[in-house]
């Protein structure tokens, strides 16, 4: 990722968090996704020194929920310095132990810390973190970097990305008309209130699987992150319950966003937990 693009994305997200708009739209973790994460953690061979990385943690809506539940070590990284500062303030006010939670807004500092710490049992890349990276090569590099720090044999990555069939359909159509081509129409720019501009790469199931494969990863579970827009789920528990029901009965292609649990591709001589065979939320093979 070019320094210019990275700097611009950091500036846009600093404005996003500073405006309070992000906190208004997404004040808490998606409860259905959080339950899924709890299930996966319960299956991992973790111990008090095990580490969870929240890559693109924002103001910590997933990191804080997990830190309040499990006595583990946590690493939070976000490109937005403003988000990390607000998360640090939240931890200070809640008297969370700084020895258990390490926060970074600089990639170099994060990499230095990872070199001298335990391997990662679970790496989270939630709510489109990967999609804000414009170029395919940079997305794959990011996936490879996260794959390389996983604990051998049991480390996993959990990420969510937007479904191309459900998101920004008008912008995709405009891209197709402008370029007279279906290719590259999946890269869209959108604007939030206050002129906050962000890039979003929209995924199909095939493009998601292809990028994972090129990064040396394969899906264990593929399911809908949600069927309804996530901000709706956070307004009322009944809407979240309805969405959970829809997630389990509607086809995966109906998803607002895809949620994938991925593991490193191992050689034939290597073994992994026998239950880690890819399946969709309906129990079918991926």
Residues 6+ apart with CB under 8 A from 147: 157, 215, 216, 217, 264
Structural domain harbouring 52: 3-163+204-280
Residue 78 covered by a domain = yes
Tens of pLDDT along 184-231? 788 898 888 888 888 899 999 999 999 999 999 999 999 999 999 998
Token duo for residue 143: 């996936």
User: What's the total number of domains in the chain?
Assistant: 1
Residue 177 covered by a domain = no
CATH value at residue 79? 3.40.50.150
Residue 266 covered by a domain = yes
Query: In sequence order, what DSSP letters do the residues of 5-34 get, joined into one string?
Result: HHHHHHHHHHHHHHHTHHHHH--S--HHHH
Residue 198 covered by a domain = no
Residue 192 covered by a domain = no
Query: How far is residue 140's CA from residue 161's CA, in Å, rounded to a whole number?
Result: 14
Residue 178 covered by a domain = no
Tens of pLDDT along 267-285? 655 554 455 556 665 555 5
Tens of pLDDT along 147-170? 999 999 899 999 999 999 999 999
Residue 191 covered by a domain = no
């Amino acid at each position: 990722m070019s320094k210019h693009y990275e700097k611009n994305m950091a500036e846009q997200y600093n404005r996003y968090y500073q405006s309070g708009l992000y906190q208004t739209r997404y004040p808490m973790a998606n409860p259905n996704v959080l339950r899924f994460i709890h299930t996966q953690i319960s299956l991992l061979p973790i111990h008090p020194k095990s580490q969870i990385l929240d890559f693109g943690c924002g103001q910590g809506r997933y990191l804080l929920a997990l830190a309040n539940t499990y006595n583990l070590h946590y690493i939070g990284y976000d490109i937005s310095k403003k988000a990390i500062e607000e998360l640090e303030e939240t931890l200070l006010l809640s008297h969370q132990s700084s020895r258990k939670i390490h926060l970074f807004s600089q990639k170099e500092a994060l990499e230095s810390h990872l070199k001298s710490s335990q391997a990662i049992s679970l790496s989270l890349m939630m709510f489109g973190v990967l999609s804000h990276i414009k170029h395919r090569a940079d997305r794959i590099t990011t996936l490879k970097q996260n794959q390389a720090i996983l604990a051998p044999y049991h480390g996993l990555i959990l990420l969510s990305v937007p479904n191309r069939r459900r998101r920004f359909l008008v912008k995709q159509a405009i891209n197709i008309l402008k370029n007279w081509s279906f290719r590259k129409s999946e890269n869209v720019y959108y604007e939030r209130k206050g002129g906050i501009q962000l890039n979003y790469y929209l995924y199909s199931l095939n493009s998601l699987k292809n990028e994972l494969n090129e990064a040396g990863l394969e899906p264990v579970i593929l399911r809908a992150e949600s069927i309804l827009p996530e901000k709706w789920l956070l307004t009322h528990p009944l809407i979240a319950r309805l969405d959970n029901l829809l997630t389990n009965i509607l086809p995966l292609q109906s998803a607002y966003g895809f949620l994938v649990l991925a593991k490193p591709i191992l050689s034939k001589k290597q073994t992994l937990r026998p239950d880690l065979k890819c399946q969709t939320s309906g129990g079918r093979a991926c």
